[in-house]
Amino acid sequence: MHGGNLFQQNLRVTLRIRNPNSVALPVKSVRARLRLGGAQFATGAAIGSFVVAPLGTARVDMTVTANLAAGIAQLAQALGRPDGTVAYQLDGAVRLGMPLLRTLPFHQYGTLPLRALCPPRCSEARRIE
């Protein structure tokens, strides 16, 4: 965490980028947005050039602005559901330093199994309420 207040926090996170191609990808910048349960939770960007090797991965540090209060509310609601999961969406784009291919959008989505991440007493407390 790099500061913030009750409604907005500045975080440093690491994003892993996978290159499934047989050609290196020269990256100029990355931007991303994370939604939890349909509500925007965080947005961020990484500016600075690096190369993702062919068929390789790279890690990039990003500065992210988050609303932890909204995220905690979504997680608490999810723990109250029978399946104990919360839907997430990660969207963004990688800006490339290539002449014909300038931007690669990405979209990842799924569910986070919160009950599996929650200690046993957390699950017990939710059942009692």
With a cut of 90, say whether residue 119 has pLDDT above it. no
Give the span between the Cα atoms of 67 and 126, in whole angstroms.
23
Burial class (CB in 10 A: 0-12, 13-18, 19+), 32: buried
pLDDT of residue 68: 74
Domains, the chain: 9-128 (2.60.40.1820)
Burial class (CB in 10 A: 0-12, 13-18, 19+), 31: middle
How are beta strands 85-96 and 25-36 bridged, if at all?
A: antiparallel
Note the pLDDT tens digit of each residue in 4-56: 666 788 888 888 999 999 999 999 999 999 998 888 889 999 988 999 999 99
Measured from the Cβ of residue 112, the count of other Cβ atoms closer than 10 Å reads: 17
